[in-house]
Amino acid sequence: MILLSGKEVQDDIKKKLKEKIGGLTSVPKLVIIQVGENEQSGIYINRKKKFGEELGITVEHKKFQEAVTEEEIIQEIEKDNQDESVGGIIVQLPIPKNLNLSRVLNSIDVNKDVDGLSAGQMGLLYSGNEEAHVPATARGVISLLDYYEVNLNSKSVCVVGRSNLVGRPIAEMCLKRNATLTICHSHTKNLEEFTRVADVLVVACGVPNYINDTHTREGQVVIDVGIHKTDNGICGDVDFAKVKDVVSAITPVPGGVGPLTVASLFQNLVYSA
């Protein structure tokens, strides 16, 4: 069984990004907008700040209280849209439910939406535009598969999960690699019938240890996108202990897809510059 290390791929991406940045006349700034207090969001933001620092990229963190209005957030985004020193703007998710997420995301200049979550960027992605900013997790999954030379051409790929943030963009990227695709979700009956036949199984369902050895088979490549903090420690959507002796390759949790989400965000930022 091969352990697919996201950290190793992240280091490779970092090296290539430094080379790209060296050829830029000006280094773009990343603005992160956070609304409310969320411990996990704080951890993710700190990781982005650290990665940006290692690349020599300024990361500006703008934090707002939950009482902030939608208009105030959008006004702040508009300022960053007009600021030529800002190359990318992201809204750290989740945000309070009293704010209209779609309206907030769509107020970001489409060229500065380096998270790729606005309607404009999604339109570019699903229309096949090569310059689309692929959502970071989806881009990270593809980078991982490319690094380990997992060829998707004519292969069967099953994606468990259909969110706009992860499942759907991953599926789109697999289709671009000429994979034969199946998307499963909470209403899929007899899930094992779909997951077991796949050459590559990507799991992004958001349920701890949901996929086990009954869902997998020998020779599969399994990409576990999930990460959960439980009483027994950190785990993914895949029950690693039950699956690792069955499949041919699998991502660990932590240390698999996670490190690539941050790296992929900065790929979008630097490549757009």
Q: Is 65 a catalytic residue?
A: no
- Look at the block and give the residue holding tokens 């096949």: 128
Q: Name the active-site residue from 29, 34, 48, 49.
A: 48
Q: Is 92 a catalytic residue?
A: yes
Q: Name the active-site residue from 92, 121, 220, 267.
A: 92
Q: Name the active-site residue from 80, 115, 224, 237.
A: 115
Cis omega (within 30 of 0) for bond into 254: yes
Per-residue 3-state assignment (H helix, E strand, C coil) for the chain: CEECCHHHHHHHHHHHHHHHHHCCCCCCEEEEEEECCCHHHHHHHHHHHHHHHHHCCCEEEEEECCCCCHHHHHHHHHHHHHCCCEEEEEECCCCCCCCCHHHHHHCCCHHHCCCCCCHHHHHHHHCCCCCCCCCHHHHHHHHHHHHCCCCCCCCEEEEECCCCCCHHHHHHHHHHCCCEEEEECCCCCCHHHHHCCCCEEEECCCCCCCECCCCCCCCCEEEECCCEEECCEEECCECHHHHCCCCCEECCCCCCCHHHHHHHHHHHHHHHC
Catalytic residues: 48, 92, 115
